Structure 1
Amino acid sequence: MANNQVAKPSLFYIECLRFIAAIAVVGIHVLGPYRELVPELAWHEWLPAISLNAISRWAVPIFIMISGALLMSDQRPFNAAHYLPRRLAKVLLPFLAWTVIYAFVGGYQEGAWSWEATATLLEHSPNEHTWYHLWFFYDFIPLYFVIPLLAPLLYKMEKQRILLLLAAWLVLTLMHWLKVETPLRQNIILYSGYLVMGWYLFNNDQQAHLKFWLATGGAMLAFNVLGSAFYIWQQGEYSSVFMGYKSLNTAVIAMSLFVLIKAYAERIPQRVRPFIKTISKYSFGIYLVHPLFLIPVRNPDYGIYQWFGHSSIALIVISAAALGLAFVLSWLLTRSSLTRWLVP
């Protein structure tokens, strides 16, 4: 009998996107101390760190674009009783738990643990993250209330209207980059644009425009690196002007990566794919736990960065070690039903 089933399109490229985003996030946090040390370092020491920072800022937008691509492409009837516990709570509960965990970690100061320090972190946690990487959830969780409202609108809109909406969003990211005052410069609006862009690129083929995306994304990456380096040479200090998650340069790079990996991911050899899929599967857990392993690394008293002789070597080795340890801890937490929910 003939098989009339239509094969589902491969989503391996989504796993590739999660894979590279997880690596990029770890790298960004590993290089963090170098930003403060720029005035004290020779150019060949700060340039690798600043360059890595300049070419990695797409990581957070990619995570949001993936959410838009997958969650807003689900055309099943919306069911709040299913969505809230299966989608929202899956992110909200780990965030709340790790907020408390990192508050206790943050209470350990100057060789001793202080309840007062932990209590202060918890008291301020409704408005301030208890650890540096948790800022993401303050902007990401509200998007789960935007997704069910945006999705039906997008499917009813004509393609040209959607393109106009995306063009307006890109103009807004440029205004945000240039610090043009407007009431539209709100995080929920700027990050919602990534949801729509992820949905659009997921559902619309860009094969005819690959050269454009390659040239545009490559040019913006070079612009980020050269611009950041030029500013440091001129001012003698680090600048975050090229590092905004909601700025046009970052949006263009994230869009380009999404398109190019979607187009070329299937060329990746089969023998490499299990590794990519494994890291992708645990990417959320890696994001949550990897700062634990960077605590001694980022402590200047230990001088761990100096162990490797040069920043380029330190960044590679420490990033690989932090990624590996974070993966192992995430995997271990998933082994028990008591802790599995912490790293869904």
Structure 2
Amino acid sequence: MTVAKSKRIFYFDALRALAIICVIVVHVYAVTRVHVMADYAVIPSFDWIFSQFIGNCFRIGVDLFLMLAGALSLGRVWTIREFLGKRIPRIVGPFLFWGIVTGAIAVIISYYFGFSFINSFDINSIYEFFMGVFFATSRGYDPYWFFWMILGTYLIMPIFNKWLLHSELVEAEYFLVFWLITCLYDYTLNMAFPIKLSYFTCPIGLVVAGYYLRHTERRILNNPYFALALLIITSAVTVILATYHSTASEMYVYNRYSILMCIEVMAVFLLFKNFNKFNINLNFSERLTKMVKMFIFMIAKYSYGIYLIQGLFLCIYRDIVPYCGYCSTFIEMVLLILITSMIIMYVLEKVPYINKVIGAK
């Protein structure tokens, strides 16, 4: 199946914007949930349930990025050299640039302002800190694991692209059935399936799912009400089961590749793809509509750069933002991280040469 190159599609930008917001939300959840841990009881508090909902149902950011990679790149005619020559520099340049820049900032503010990114300032400690930056082990740089995962995914995508170019969608469905089995056993039940299915597992399964859901013509999968119902049911089941498995000392969090997360992310993808079928008039004002679309476009455009710098701001704001109630503090930190990151990306995009390596596209 050959798919012609398409123009920019708004629902892809909306999904990419949602993906980076989900990433920020889940990272803020990880450092703020301690404030509501003690609220677990037979009937947990609203703040506890809100935190549990955020921690699980927004854990689809990385999954969305993987699905978008498949939707945008698979099923198209390109050579391995063309694909890797375009994709690899896009992720390597910003990764190195922001690793060096934010790492240097982290060292400087630790030395002058007492932040705890690094405790010793000898050459060996600084070297080890920067190694930890690039290998996702230094404080604030855990999210950098994403670079190594997406790099490996890009390296295998040409093989899958060649297969899908010469396949019907029913063959993608065959692959996705076994992929969902691995999601159930490997990442949800945490038990081995009798048949070795490692070739069907995530993250490549989400990439193929993105390609399939973009192009499928199955009626039920193009019904927005089905997608909405699937999203609501999956989210509710996720929160209920996560609450059941939680304790007063630990909030249960599902793996991002679990069956519930993968069904949820597919529901979100289908909902955005078919949203216009609801026939809802959202054009309250032409000017307001343009502003909202521009804001979504900017978040989508800067998403990779935001991903690479949000960890630094998360650690900074965690130390300096006063706690004034769980929900208000949570929302404040999410907005601060998103807005600060976007401002920096917007300013640096105006700088010649630098704008090529900040992760804007």
Query: Share of identical aligned residues, percent?
Result: 22
Which of 206, 217, 237 in structure 2 is aligned with 1:205?
217
Partner of 1:118: 126
- Note the C-alpha offset of 1:238: 2.5
Which of 29, 45, 58 in structure 1 is aligned with 2:60?
58
1:264 paired to 2:275: yes
Contact residue 48 and residue 311 of structure 1 kept, 8 A: no
Partner of 1:3: none
Counterparts of 2:98 and 2:5, CA distance in 1: 39
Q: TM-score, normalised by structure 2?
A: 0.81
1:178 paired to 2:194: no
Contact residue 35 and residue 326 of structure 2 kept, 8 A: no
1:296 paired to 2:298: no
Partner of 2:79: 78
Partner of 1:253: 264
Partner of 2:230: 216
Contact residue 243 and residue 252 of structure 2 kept, 8 A: no
Structure 1: runs of 5+ lacking an equivalent = 1-5
Counterparts of 2:226 and 2:16, CA distance in 1: 23
Partner of 2:241: 227
After the TM superposition, which of the residue ranges 211-220 and 110-119 deviates more from structure 2?
Answer: 110-119
After the TM superposition, which of the residue ranges 51-60 and 266-275 deviates more from structure 2?
Answer: 266-275
- Note the C-alpha offset of 1:121: 3.1
AA matched with 1:342: I
Partner of 2:151: 141
Partner of 1:68: 70
Structure 2: runs of 5+ lacking an equivalent = 284-288
Contact residue 136 and residue 142 of structure 2 kept, 8 A: no
Counterparts of 1:23 and 1:171, CA distance in 2: 29
1:277 paired to 2:291: no
Counterparts of 2:72 and 2:326, CA distance in 1: 38
Tell me, what secondary structure is at the counterpart of 1:35? Answer: helix
Counterparts of 1:54 and 1:175, CA distance in 2: 19
Tell me, what secondary structure is at the counterpart of 2:76? Answer: coil
Counterparts of 2:258 and 2:6, CA distance in 1: 35
Tell me, what secondary structure is at the counterpart of 2:191? Answer: coil
AA matched with 1:264: F
Q: TM-score, normalised by structure 1?
A: 0.85
